[in-house]
Amino acid sequence: MYDEVSSPDFDELVREHALLVKRIAHHLRGRLPDSVQLDDLIQAGMIGLIEAARKYDG
């Protein structure tokens, strides 16, 4: 499912936006039940970021 992608643009794109994923996860954490863990939100966000970076055609 996850093919290896190793281009400088891909890596840079993910690194540039990883902090944004963490900030959004922290923001959402305050609005969700206690059963939702911060690490799970960050993981889901990073998966979404990686999928979006793969599809990005810029």
Query: For residue range 21-39, what is the model confidence (pLDDT) as tens digits?
Result: 999 999 999 999 999 999 9
Whether residue 13 is contained in a domain is answered as yes
Mean pLDDT of 7-28: 93
Q: Domain total for the chain?
A: 1
Whether residue 37 is contained in a domain is answered as yes
Whether residue 50 is contained in a domain is answered as yes
Whether residue 51 is contained in a domain is answered as yes
Mean pLDDT of 4-9: 68
Tokens standing for residue 44? 């889901």
Whether residue 3 is contained in a domain is answered as no
The pLDDT of residue 20: 98
Percentage of the chain exceeding pLDDT 70: 88
pTM for this entry: 0.81
Whether residue 2 is contained in a domain is answered as no
Structural domain boundaries enclosing 16: 8-55
Whether residue 49 is contained in a domain is answered as yes
